[in-house]
């Protein structure tokens, strides 16, 4: 570890070679558009970000992205997982632990830095001349990545080292409580877009100063003036009871991303997050009228992000590097036609099953509960499901969705017969397994 400083040139050149290797690969991967919710330029991609960025570059996207937010693994040497739960409120029980991503590196810091450096090189290529990048890290690796950012983006394009200060998390008796992350803000050129923000600065003693020409305001705390926003940001983490909470480990607060987007983007700009996790950047882009590209290599991340965007009714395409459907998971579906004044079809999920309860990679904590749920409360194992009334056999375009919320989900929907052409149903379970059945006849 101590010799990393001397290895930085080698890490840099290995990362360059890694990018070149990806460029030379026959055709690394073709992305299949598996789902789209309307005409859109937004997309969520399941796959490795190096491959996907190369794919974008090959399709003429160099210099086309206005803002990149990057929240990679921090070199924490930990594994992150999601507790898959059933029930609601205080009666929620953990069924299994679903690994989200690993931040353990066989060849230590060297391997970690090589991978991140390669990603930063591709991000630099994709960024617009007036664009900027925010790399979110903490004490584990900020110091090395800052040096690498200077090399990839240029020392002169360093703008800020933002300190995000929060209250949550543990403390130690051996050192000061670690309560901040570092966000490195770089631009592509000196001509970058930046809209300065203002914040409150409370007067000493919270009393009015009454200086000539200085505007002062008062709120419930006291008197303040408005000053240009500083590089230390106090924003709460996503709380346990927050409506934002997706359950994804390492989820970042929307307020943090909103502040970045307000400062460096305009409406309609294209923003990207190639380590998107639960899709926080996409959610905020949707709310603020920006376009987005999201990518993650983990099933739990992509499942959480996809559900979040569907819930927000944010039109996007879902693309996948590897086949997304699972052959282990199956849903029983019934279709009933109700004729009369209002001619309709009821589509319902009547059960779910698994060919093998040994779900790959998933640590089942309570197999009795899992079996009981499958037999009696299968609805609690469904994360979301959707219906494409006129599936073209290639791209799933959902017309209707149902989501699990507070442990409850509707398992039946009524559809006017006039809408039904090639009825196809897609069901996603709490582990991210996907089942699809098409050609359901009325
Ligand atoms: C710290 S989390 C991001 C959390 C996210 N900002 C949020 O608000 O939910 C880092 C993410 O990077 C993903 N990841 C790590 N290496 C990756 C790679 N090579 N390609 C794509 N995603 C990757 C992990 O699966 C993980 O979801």
- Tell me: pLDDT of 441 over 70: no
Tens of pLDDT, residue by residue over 111-123, are 999 999 999 999 9
Domain count, the chain: 3
Q: What is the pLDDT of residues 37-47, one digit of tens each?
A: 876 789 999 99
Residue range 246-283, pLDDT digits in tens:
989 999 999 999 999 999 999 999 999 999 999 999 99
Report the CATH number that the domain containing residue 295 is assigned in CATH.
Answer: 3.40.50.150
Name the residue among 369, 376, 379 with its Cα closest to residue 409.
Answer: 379
Pocket probe mutation, ligand 1, options 141, 277, 281, 285, max atoms within 8 Å of Cβ: 277
Residue 316, both tokens: 């996007």
What pLDDT shows up at residue 2? 61
> How far does residue 305's CA lie from ligand 1's centre (Å)?
11
Q: Are residues 393 and 247 in the same domain?
A: no
pLDDT at residue 26 tops 70: no
Q: 383 and 311, same structural domain?
A: no
Instruction: Evaluate if residue 27 carries a pLDDT over 70.
Output: no
Whether residues 84 and 39 share a domain: the answer is yes
Distance, in Å, from the CA atom of 135 to the CA atom of 143, rounded to the nearest integer, reads 12
117: how many CB neighbours lie within 10 A of its CB?
Answer: 24
Of 112, 181, 103, the C-alpha closest to 145 is 112
Domain boundary among 288, 320, 352: 320
Structure tokens given for 285? 């882009």
Kindly indicate the confidence band of residue 442, based on its pLDDT and cuts at 50, 70 and 90: low
**Residue 240 scores a pLDDT above 90:** no
Whether residues 202 and 54 share a domain: the answer is no
The two structure tokens encoding residue 265: 């983007």
At which of 229, 256, 289 does a domain end? 229
Residue pair 70/294 in contact by the 8 Å Cβ criterion: no
Pocket test for ligand 1, best of 82, 101, 361 (most atoms within 8 A of CB): 101
* pLDDT tier for residue 358 given thresholds of 50, 70 and 90: confident
pLDDT of 362 reads: 86
Structural domain ending residue among the three candidates 272, 302, 320: 320
Cα 272 from Cα 71, distance rounded (Å) = 11
Distance CA 362, CA 99 (A): 7
Question: Mean pLDDT of all residues in the chain?
Answer: 92
Same domain (yes/no): 44, 170: yes
Give the domain range for residue 175: 4-190+231-320
Centre a 10 Å sphere on the Cβ of residue 209 and count the other Cβ atoms it contains: 12
Q: Is 90 exceeded by the pLDDT of residue 50?
A: yes
User: Do 156 and 290 share a domain, yes or no?
Assistant: yes
Beta bridge partners of 108: none
DSSP helix/strand/coil, 405:
strand
Q: Are residues 240 and 105 in the same domain?
A: yes
- CA–centroid distance, residue 329 to ligand 1 (Å): 25
Q: Please report, for the domain that includes residue 418, its CATH number.
A: 2.60.40
At 316 the three-state DSSP class reads coil
Residues 221, 97, single domain; the answer is no
Residues 124 and 260 in one domain: yes
Place of tokens 């007036």: 130
Task: Tell me, yes or no, whether 146 and 274 share the same domain.
Answer: yes
Q: Same domain, yes or no, for 387 and 247?
A: no
In a shared domain, residues 25 and 165: yes
Average pLDDT over residues 326-355: 90
Dig out the tokens for 198 from the structure: 């203002």
């Amino acid at each position: 570890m101590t010799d990393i400083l001397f290895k930085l040139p080698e890490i840099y050149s290995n990362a360059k070679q890694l990018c070149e290797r990806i460029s030379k690969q026959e055709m690394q991967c073709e992305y299949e558009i598996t789902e789209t919710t309307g005409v859109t330029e937004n997309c969520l991609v399941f796959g490795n970000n190096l491959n996907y960025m190369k794919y974008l570059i090959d399709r003429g996207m160099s210099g086309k992205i206005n803002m990149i937010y990057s929240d990679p693994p921090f070199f924490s040497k930990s594994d992150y997982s999601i507790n898959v739960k059933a029930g609601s409120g205080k009666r929620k029980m953990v069924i299994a632990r679903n690994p989200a991503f690993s931040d353990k590196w066989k060849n230590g810091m060297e391997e970690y830095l090589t991978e991140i450096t390669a990603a930063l090189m591709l991000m630099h290529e994709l960024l617009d001349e007036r664009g900027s990048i925010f790399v979110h890290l903490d004490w584990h690796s900020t110091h090395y990545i800052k040096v690498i950012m200077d090399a990839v983006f240029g020392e002169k394009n360093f703008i800020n080292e933002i300190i995000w200060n929060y209250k949550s998390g543990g403390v130690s008796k051996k050192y000061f409580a670690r309560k901040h992350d570092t966000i490195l803000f770089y631009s592509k050129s000196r001509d970058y877009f930046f809209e300065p923000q203002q914040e409150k600065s409370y007067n000493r003693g919270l009393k009015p100063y009454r200086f000539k020409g200085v505007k002062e305001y008062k709120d419930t705390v006291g008197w303040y003036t408005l000053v240009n926003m500083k590089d230390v940001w106090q924003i709460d983490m996503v709380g346990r009871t927050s409506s934002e909470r997706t359950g994804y480990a390492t989820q970042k607060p929307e307020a943090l991303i909103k502040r970045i987007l307000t400062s460096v983007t305009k409406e309609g700009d294209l923003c990207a997050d190639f380590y998107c996790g639960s899709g926080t950047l996409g959610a905020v882009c949707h709310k603020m009228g920006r376009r987005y590209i999201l990518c993650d290599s983990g099933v739990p991340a992509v499942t959480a992000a996809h559900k979040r965007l569907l819930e927000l009714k944010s039109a996007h395409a879902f693309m996948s590097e590897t086949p997304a459907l699972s052959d282990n998971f199956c849903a029983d579906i019934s279709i009933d036609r109700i004729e009369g004044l209002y001619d309709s079809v009821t589509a319902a999920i009547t059960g779910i099953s698994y060919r093998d309860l040994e779900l790959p990679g998933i640590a089942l904590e309570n197999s009795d509960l899992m079996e009981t749920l499958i037999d009696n409360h299968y609805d609690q194992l469904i994360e979301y499901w959707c219906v494409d009334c006129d599936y073209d056999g290639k791209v799933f375009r959902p017309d209707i969705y149902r989501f699990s919320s507070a442990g409850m989900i509707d398992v039946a929907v009524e559809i006017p017969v006039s809408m039904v052409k090639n009825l196809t149903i897609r069901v996603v379970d709490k582990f991210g397994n996907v089942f699809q059945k098409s050609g359901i006849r009325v």
